[in-house]
A and B are shown apart, each in its own frame.
Chain A
């Protein structure tokens, strides 16, 4: 546990000590504000953050891989994985420490967007149910993106490949789970729809907290993060 906390704190500190972290925060806040402002505060329309949650997960699709691409690939590139692998820390502690750090940073990155509900509160009387569930959906999606980014980062020493691999995986998943499901025979179409992140997020944005969605995001994130241990173990014992 001590090693996991050590890795997590070091990684979290590294997000704030390097420009990548601050840049990701700034870009996410700026772009989400750019999309949200004209669509959330329309006179005569209900005050909601649906526009933000609609665009937020697409922004995360770019920002989360940018955060996760360096998690393990950078250690390998700089050679610091050598001192990490010769310490008594287990590969599980290393992987989950890094994953938790990225998740914590994602939460920090979402903090400035709390200005949006505050602005809605100032301008009207928003319904907080969909806002809270929408944030939950966004956070869970971000955690899922980060886990896949971590897996790609463990598979390659190139940060660019880790970034593009994660991005392309989720773009392909979005395409397959929507377009592919339309043409797939039964029961494959049902399986493909179940993999859809968009559909689950739409429920969260409407204020529906379905435990199946939560189980999907949490279990997928943990499973993919656990998979990231395999390349590390492989390198240690091959």
Chain B
């Protein structure tokens, strides 16, 4: 899948009208996505269909209708061949406690098709890569949650996959460990040319590491595309006013004044979100409008659109 199309790198995976039903529950509803090289964030609340989509991409579950293509292969009919080229780390934090980390990673590499000697070498290499080189002979039961998540990552990349599917890889980690894990995932993708699909319900961590985003909500596709296009780079301004009683109606007066100047404005209570202009200009106009209305500012800050905004406007 190294060929590139005129519009950019070829997709490492795609689905067409992929639908998955469990009885009357629609887990995936005619989902059309394209996953490109790099790190793709698969976001959505719990129950949005992230794990179902991952299972469909791995060929572990036959879709009710629609189709998928991963690395040029059909997951349903070519699942075993596909899964030698795809790494996977499940969400569940349960690993064989008595097994040494290096044995665990080596075994999974062998099961994914590597010869024994190569699997042994790569198991050590991968554990060094994820920062567990010195800990590789420890049994998994003695490791912390953060270390176990790293071991899961190591086993997923040990067989040199072209695509790695990580289901909630930061689950159970503290903020520092989460940041380190995300940095590691980014490095694996950028330095070793491994495409990564990162499933998470934490939008800020997806924003921090992902190039592309697939957003699901209750089985429906909310958004799919490059992160920069979906949330944009334009920085708006957020103005939070104090709702004073004297003079009355100052918030309304500020809103009217700003709208009169042609600024795009969204209001939520006493909070105004301004857009459609240069940051400095928006700040100046907000300051002038507040001064003219005799209002008082509690907070004035520049801001970017976030994935949370995307969910709010499209879900």
On whether the two chains bind one another, the answer is no
Instruction: List chain B positions with a Cβ less than 8 A from chain A.
Output: none
Instruction: List chain A positions with a Cβ less than 8 A from chain B.
Output: none
